[in-house]
Structure 1
């Protein structure tokens, strides 16, 4: 069962240019309502073990936990929709609500979704 905030392995091949390819862990960020409705694609953020310090809001560090064996960075600028058949194994872990709040804040900044003041 896919849940918002869970980390799964996904086959991201073929990667193009700066896109991650291969099999990578991904964080599911799609709304739970769409997941429950069995929408055919899922919004995810790929993870990498090539860590870069002090790179917020483009990267957030997710420490190794659960079945995620290595510290990883979320690549927030690589947000993408994937076909559900690309999700190969999971969940590896379920992120804490506090961490998801940080992800939401970073996505708001990366996507320039800050509230417009009239």
Structure 2
């Protein structure tokens, strides 16, 4: 099991198997669930996958290296929220996103879910 998981960290995750338009394969994900939930008994985390493909979707948040440990411009897919078991995560975090990026992601999620 991975060490301490924190909101705002980017980890590599194995998202297979998937269906339809879900992001698939081994890819970086942003942990978006609260730290309290991440350390709880559910053994799950809520994540948003990242992609390098710019689909020009307003709910995708761009980040540039070295933020979050990414090596190229990437996009946080706020419209692809999912929970995954912690066993899908790699051995360590790549890095963390900035507080400003995390705030933008939270704003996009509020819009998407009408919260």
Q: Would the TM-score normalized by the shorter structure come out above 0.5?
A: yes
For the 8 Å contact 1:7–1:90, the answer to whether it is kept is no
Question: Which aligned pairs between 1:77-92 and structure 2 lie closer than 5 A?
Answer: 77-92=79-94
How many residue pairs get matched? 111
CA RMSD of aligned residues (A): 1.4
Q: 5+ residue gaps in structure 1?
A: 114-118
Q: Runs of 4 or more off by more than 2 Å in structure 1?
A: 36-39
Q: In the TM superposition, what is the alpha-carbon distance from 1:34 to its structure 2 partner? A: 1.1
1:10 aligns with 2:13: yes
Greater Cα radius of gyration, structure 1 or 2: 1
Query: TM-score, normalised on structure 2?
Result: 0.89
Q: 5+ residue gaps in structure 2?
A: none
Greater CA drift, 61-70 or 38-47? 61-70
Match of residue 101 from structure 1: 103
For the 8 Å contact 2:62–2:75, the answer to whether it is kept is yes
